Amino acid sequence: MSSMTSRRDAAPLSAFDIDRRAALKLLASGMALSLASCGKPPEEIVPYVDQPERVVPGIPLKFATTLDMAGYGRGVIVTSVEGRPIKVEGNPRHSASLGATDVFAEASVLSLYDPDRSKAPRGPKGIASWDAFGDALRTQMEKEKKRQGAGLRLVSGRMTSPTLLRQINALLKAFPQARWYRYEPISDDNEREGAVMAFGRPLTTLPRIGEASVALSLDDDFLGAGPRQIANGRAFISARRAENDPDRFLRLYAAEPALSLTGANADHWLAIRPELIRNLAIAISAILRGEKPNAPLPPAAQRFATVAAADLKSKTGKAIVTAGRTQPPDVHALCHTINGMLHAPIDYIEPVDPAGKHGEALHAFADDLSNNRVETLLILDRNPVYDAPHELGFNGLFPKLPFSAHLGLYDDETAAICHWHLPLSHTLESWSDLRAHDGTASIVQPLIRPLYDTRTAHQVIALISGALSPSSYDLVRETWQPQAGGDFESWWRQVLHDGVIAETRHVAVSAQPKAVDIKPAPNPTEAVLVLAPDPSIWDGRDANNAWLQECPKPLSKETWGNTLSISPRDAQQLGCQTGDVVALTRKNAKVEAVVRVDANQADSVYATTLGHGRRKAGAIGNGIGFDVYPLRAIDEPWLIGGVTIAKTGKSRDIPTTQGQFRLEGETTEFLPRVSLAALAAGLKGPPFAEEPKPTLYPPVHNDDPYAWAMVIDTAACIGCNACVIACQAENNVPVVGPDQILRSRVMHWLRVDTYTDANGGIQGFQPVPCMHCEHAPCEPVCPVAASVHDREGLNVQVYNRCIGTRFCQSNCPYKVRRFNWFGYADDEEYANLGEPPIKAQHNPDVTVRARGVMEKCTYCVQRISRARREAEKENRTIKDGEVVTACQAACPTRAISFGNLKDTGAHVNALRQHKQHYELLGHLGTRPRTTYLARLTNPNPDFDEAKS
């Protein structure tokens, strides 16, 4: 009980014992602090590109830093306007970014300004101070010191930060009895153990997809969301360029229980039960060895195995087989064996995340808790009460602890039952360092002084170790000082400038896989629930980010929540349809899920995503979707058996942005697909060979030096949505909320259309911004000339002239215009998005639109304008590549090109001469400036029917 007393002693000012004078003092100091809080951090930080003599108001600065994705670093360059970071872009020098971003990186800038972020420490008696926590912690640590930390437990996520690792290791040395548990709800335990089985040690596999000619994914969503998405996407598309030698053009096979982004981009896709993927792998390995496959497989899978294996074998040295996280370790091990046989282009590296299995860590932690071995618990930015399997019963175990503290951005589910909640600084407010999935290290440098009274994990660990006012900056520099050699200061400047520390990528090691003994699985009978990370909010940590919640999922186009996808046959058997609510039960856990019937799904497989159904995420994320963590098993986190499903009789509307109507065969017209073979044979026929229709209109001609145009290569679009969120961040595009999405009032300026074949199979993705038609149908119909053309060929919208007749949108064949039905950014914001901190994210170069006004894609006119100012200063025209639109900058596969048609050497001019080039709805005579390259496929002629 002594700890209770000490905590009471250390209690900070309570709201009740402040007198008037004290209140006024606090008010004054609060105002002074808030005035001073925006600005550069006190330590020197180095701008990336521009190095002005001083900060010029209105001129944005760019700084390289690193963002965290599931513990791995992703190098980015952040634009800062007068001390406010407003936009994240990729860092071309960083191997996990390659100059591009993903939705999470783009949206991180919104999380920074989230009004729901924790602003001050909270103690057992309410709002407290860091000093109060320090006092309480010191008393607690005195006790731990005596018993060598026997009661001290640290819980964190995946840890790659060299500084943090150094600090924690030092701490564990000082407290040898203490334990540190690391876990991620989306772990790579199966890959790790598979590598141990094959190589005897936990090597990480880095396939060089860019060098492959054939790839087979066994439920491995390597193009889907995750720390490697950008790198994999870039490599995948670089291997699928039409310019390549047709022999080198990558052909992708995918076998999956439920369609993923990887499956949607595959040339051949097989729907298969997850347990049978093992048999598929066994069959392929047998065929490769020249044996007769005898693992039981359905006929379609047998044929798939035969054709894929033959194709893999024919491309030995350039063929890769990968297995996903749902597959058990021995399948991973078998893949290593197969890759060994194929001499696959793969790098094996020592793991960047050196910890053991995450599942075991959680188990050991729960064990400690239930055996009362934990006295002092510190949770570093993890939320086990929400995202650990509920079987472990953390919810009941936590309150029994004598001392528990939670460090995090939000006062979340775990924080709620800890004694202390400590506000964590956002990555954009922190000094730190991180390693990417391939080991590349980079520095996290802050863009802004912490908005609130927050601290970094470095500071908190240092606090535990007894430091009084630790500085993350000093801690990070201390880590790197020995490695920098000679002149540390200039090394440091260089590293901050580059955003990456040279030669830190883990070197590939040579490894020979052992043959593994693997038994085929019997034909499964029971239904199985397959889980996957959510493409928008990953494991739920970003659930309070409104951009991510409203980002349409790449395949289903759902926003604001998750659904349980089931096959049409299962739906028929259950007697339910899309929108019905079913109850999923496993042991004591019951979850109510909304059904979505999906043709791209194996029978008896139910699939859904993690991360939704948060109870204490904040105003945005609370109660959105349903939480499937309760159903998760400790040792089987991905494929969950023993689940019963039952109708509840309820139904719910699913907020989707597309798919209300069935396609009527438009796919071939709007998203034409051409096979590599047809391209090689010199393709003919519409829409490629379409001659321009005769017109009475004179050609658009002026002597302006610019005619802006965009070409989007649909063959390169993997559907990742990075462009959608990049556009939202750049152009102050408001969030409308689920109710407005249900009313079909999405505001995204750029949407990604998906097209399907007659059976519902995804045929590809088509990003659709404004077409900036030369004969724009929206212009002549506007009664007040708010929609007009400028001399550079931009179709511009004059917001303050618009009176909202909406005639422009009704006459737009592409329906790319967006109307402010309510004041989405004008005092009628969704949830807490109208609160002051959010406004700090707004790009000052872009108008925030009022209610009743039409808006749309501007080709990032503010960026063109900036480039023009720079060019005019130097008395020249804008060079090709000088203007990069936000969507273009974000695209991991460089599917979007933008440039000046009057510049004969411009890349867009070359692309417009391309054989795959076509105009969307060109026959209407709109003469769009945004045009497309047709989707490219590479089906195996050995298959009778390609994935058509």
Partner 1 sequence: MSSLALDRVETPSQDTRRWVLENGQSDEAVNRIVSAPLLQRHKWTWRTWWIAFAVSGAMTVMMIVSASWLLIRGVGVWGNNTTVVWGFGIANYVWWIGIGNAGTLISSMLLLMRQHWRASINRFAEAMTLFAASIAGLFPILHLGRPLYFYWLTPYPNTMLLWPQWRSALIWDFWAILSYLLFSIVFWYVGLIPDLATLRDRARSALPRKIYGAFALGWRGSARHWHFYEVYHKAMAALAVPLVVSLHSVVGLDFAASLMPGWAETIFPPYFVVGAMYSGFAMVVVLAALVRWGFRMQPIITVNHFDVMAKVMLMASIVMGLSYATEWFDAWYGGDHAERSMLTFMFSGSYSPIYFIMLFCNVLAPQAFWLAAARRSVAAVFVIAVIINVGMWLERLLIILNTLSHTHLPSMRHLFFPTIWDWTLLFGSLGFFAFMFLIFVRLVPSVSMHEVRHILHEGERP
Give me the residues that bind partner 1 (CB under 8 A), please: 658-661, 663-664, 666, 669-670, 740, 743-746, 751, 753-755, 768, 777, 780-785, 801-807, 809-811, 813-815, 817-823, 828, 850-854, 920-921, 924, 926
Angle of CA points 632, 637, 639, to nearest 5°: 95
Structure tokens at 751: 């949407």
* Gap between the Cα atoms of 432 and 458, Å rounded: 8
Q: How far is the CB of 194 from partner 1 (least distance, A)?
A: 40
Q: Nearer Cβ to partner 1, position 50 or 827? A: 827
Question: Distances from the Cα of 232 to the Cαs of 555, 890, 893, in angstroms?
Answer: 19, 15, 9
Position of tokens 């792998």? 281
* Gap between the Cα atoms of 769 and 73, Å rounded: 30
Q: Nearer Cβ to partner 1, position 676 or 920? A: 920
Q: What is the residue type of 368? A: D
Give 156's strand partners.
182, 380
Helix axes 457-465, 130-146, angle to 10 degrees: 50
Structure tokens at 219: 């439920």
- The sign of the torsion formed by the CA atoms of 293, 297, 299, 303 equals negative
Q: How far is the CB of 853 from partner 1 (least distance, A)?
A: 6
Q: How far is the CB of 326 from partner 1 (least distance, A)?
A: 30
Q: Nearer Cβ to partner 1, position 285 or 754? A: 754
Q: How far is the CB of 657 from partner 1 (least distance, A)?
A: 8
Structure tokens at 55: 């900060």
Render the burial of 3-22: b for 16+ CB within 10 Å, e for the rest.
beebbeebbbeeeeeeeeee
* Gap between the Cα atoms of 524 and 515, Å rounded: 26
CB 442 within 8 A of CB 434: yes
CB 624 within 8 A of CB 540: no
**DSSP class of 940:** -
Q: Nearer Cβ to partner 1, position 615 or 923? A: 923
Q: Nearer Cβ to partner 1, position 417 or 850? A: 850
- Coil vs helix vs strand at 250: coil
Q: Nearer Cβ to partner 1, position 663 or 840? A: 663
Q: Nearer Cβ to partner 1, position 588 or 800? A: 800
Q: Nearer Cβ to partner 1, position 92 or 780? A: 780
Structure tokens at 598: 């999906």
**DSSP class of 398:** G
Helix ranges restricted to H, 161-276: 162-174, 189-199, 229-238, 261-264
Closest of 249, 259, 248, 247 to residue 223, by C-alpha? 259
Q: How far is the CB of 932 from partner 1 (least distance, A)?
A: 13
Q: How far is the CB of 734 from partner 1 (least distance, A)?
A: 12
Q: Nearer Cβ to partner 1, position 623 or 780? A: 780
Q: How far is the CB of 678 from partner 1 (least distance, A)?
A: 22
CB 798 within 8 A of CB 786: yes
- Coil vs helix vs strand at 928: coil
* Gap between the Cα atoms of 816 and 873, Å rounded: 34
Q: How far is the CB of 669 from partner 1 (least distance, A)?
A: 7
Q: Nearer Cβ to partner 1, position 16 or 697? A: 697
* Gap between the Cα atoms of 932 and 947, Å rounded: 22
Q: Nearer Cβ to partner 1, position 229 or 926? A: 926
* Gap between the Cα atoms of 452 and 460, Å rounded: 16
Q: From the CA atom positions of the chain, what is the Rg in Å?
A: 28
Q: Nearer Cβ to partner 1, position 660 or 904? A: 660
CB 706 within 8 A of CB 793: yes
Q: How far is the CB of 822 from partner 1 (least distance, A)?
A: 4
Q: Nearer Cβ to partner 1, position 366 or 802? A: 802
Q: Nearer Cβ to partner 1, position 461 or 854? A: 854
CB contact set of 310 (below 8 Å; sequence gap of 6+): 287, 942
* Gap between the Cα atoms of 882 and 228, Å rounded: 28
Q: How far is the CB of 577 from partner 1 (least distance, A)?
A: 16
Helix ranges restricted to H, 318-408: 329-342, 358-370, 384-387, 394-397
